Amino acid sequence: MNCLSKIPTSADWPAGPPRLTDGTIAVLNLEAQIDGLKDHGTIAETAALIDKLVLRGLILGRISDYERAAQLADRLVHDTATDAVAFVARARTRAVFHRFAEALDDLDRAARLSPEDAAAKRERAAILQALGYYYETLETYGAAADRGVQFEQAAALAGFWAEHGETETAQQFYLDSVRSYRGVSPFPLALLDFQLGVMWMRQDRLNEARACLGSAVRRVPAYAAAQGHLAEVDADLGEPEAAIARLTPLAISSDDPDYSAQLARILGEMGFGEESTAWRRMAASRYDELTAAHPAAFADHAAEFWLGAGNDPKKGLRLAEFNLRVRKTPRAYDLLAQALDANTVGAASARCSAHLAS
């Protein structure tokens, strides 16, 4: 099984599939970059350090890295308020925590300082996509693609169409991006595999999802979110032991409660009540911390937790409502509908329709 619903042929990679740096080496070197940059700070280097911290947070599932990146970005803007690079860096960290309005303010300031800043334009497109402004997003990505930037734009468009569930188009852009990739770092392709895997999960095409997420994990074994989603697929495909084996080390090592929450759910479904409760308590405590510190960033995942293994539908509803105020995406509406269902069984559809109409 491949990431794609059709199997790529040799014509897709005339020179063979790309040879990438081993994922273990890539993570070692990412650590080495962060260690090497942390005491040396030109503006460009501090911005690079912020990028690397965000990447490590994404790969290893470390919220503490995101928090450190955000602190550095605040300091960078404070120290160099006339440099667009600083505002773009801070916008990126604010977007990580779903502080989209503030992130867009930063990008506006960056645009005033450097109107042609390509990084700022890419960042803006990603935020518009997260906010559900799909037409504007597509316009930005399309314009960038017209200018001939290959891999990054094809990858962005693959992610865009994957989020929309347009599987054929997403696959085409996925192939375009993989074929145009000229680097050796495994991270960009692993991130792309992950996006496609999530797309297949949302389509309930679990075998395709497993193939994509498996590909992401083969490229970067330490990729926490890919391992976590793969565990979810394992469990849904009737292999809860495999899921538990994947999740347990993540739940122990990561400061992201998603993994302990999933573990609690799967163990509960398997009838291991005591263990499930222990993981549930750990997740609950951490979600409370995170929704207090970064409400916009964690409202959706926390809502999902309280509606599921957390078993507090009212709290889930409050967070789902808050999440919809942050961004009005189809997923946010779905989550709210789920929360309404959980709180008012039988009247869900009517209430959801009324809410949508308002």
- Site residues (vs another protein, CB under 8 A): 15-16, 18-22, 24-26, 28-29, 31-37, 39-40, 42, 44-45, 116, 182-185, 188
Q: Which is nearer to another protein, 64 or 169 (CB)?
A: 64
Could you give the CA distance from residue 317 to residue 178 in angstroms, rounded to a whole number?
40
Which among 169, 231, 160, 187 has a CA at the least distance from the CA of 51? 187
Could you give the CA distance from residue 48 to residue 65 in angstroms, rounded to a whole number?
14
Written as one string, the DSSP assignment of 214-270 is HHHHHH-TT-HHHHHHHHHHHHHTT-HHHHHHHHHHHHHH-S-THHHHHHHHHHHHT
Q: Which is nearer to another protein, 183 or 249 (CB)?
A: 183
Phi-psi region of 238 (alpha: psi -120 to 50; beta: other; left: phi over 0): left
Could you give the CA distance from residue 24 to residue 279 in angstroms, rounded to a whole number?
28
Q: Which is nearer to another protein, 26 or 131 (CB)?
A: 26
Q: How far is the CB of 187 from another protein (least distance, A)?
A: 9
With 0-12 CB in 10 A as exposed, 13-18 as middle and 19+ as buried, what is 218? middle
Q: Which is nearer to another protein, 132 or 188 (CB)?
A: 188
Q: How far is the CB of 186 from another protein (least distance, A)?
A: 9
Q: How far is the CB of 19 from another protein (least distance, A)?
A: 4
Q: How far is the CB of 116 from another protein (least distance, A)?
A: 7
Q: Which is nearer to another protein, 23 or 308 (CB)?
A: 23
Q: How far is the CB of 146 from another protein (least distance, A)?
A: 16
Q: Which is nearer to another protein, 22 or 334 (CB)?
A: 22
Q: How far is the CB of 196 from another protein (least distance, A)?
A: 21
- By three-state DSSP, how is residue 207 classified? helix
Which among 209, 213, 156 has a CA at the least distance from the CA of 180? 156
Largest Cα span, the chain: 60
Q: Which is nearer to another protein, 42 or 285 (CB)?
A: 42
Q: How far is the CB of 48 from another protein (least distance, A)?
A: 8
State in Å, rounded, how far the first CA of the chain is from the last one. Answer: 44
